[in-house]
Amino acid sequence: MATSVAGMEPSKELVEFAHRMFDLARDGDAQLLDYVAAGLSPNLTDPQGNTLLMLAAYHGHAALVDGLVKAGGDVERVNDRGQTPLAGAVFKSYVDVTEVLLAAGADPDAGTPTARDTAQLFESAALPLLNGQEGS
């Protein structure tokens, strides 16, 4: 984990807690939303720049993505590779996650590579949604 305020290292307990939160996002566990409701930032970021929203989107958890978006998760936040949650979802052809992110205002042309470019390159089932067409 990155160094915290004033150059102090986070405690072992804090690091373990953060890892548990990232695992909840990867697993699609709705318990994560309870932590967010209690004050955890939906934009908590791992050492690679992936937010909870990015991890949930990349692993195909539409309901959790929706909850994180409604709690203030940033749909345009890029990770350290320049990828957005939308690009992660279309890379894996998660149409339901793509629909949630687009409804929340995610830009198909944000990030590097863009979600649109990713969908075209990998022939994603989500490509029609990015082009403004209904899902199949």
Side-chain-facing half-sphere of 60: CA atoms under 13 Å: 6
Q: Residue 45, SS3?
A: strand
Domain ranges of the chain: 10-130
Total-model pTM: 0.88
Question: What does each C-alpha distance from 96 to 3, 76, 104 come to in angstroms?
Answer: 36, 18, 13
The per-residue pLDDT for range 87-123, each reduced to its tens digit, is 999 999 999 999 999 999 999 999 999 999 999 998 8
CATH of domain 10-130: 1.25.40.20
Tokens of 115: 């979600």
The per-residue pLDDT for range 70-93, each reduced to its tens digit, is 999 999 999 999 999 999 999 999
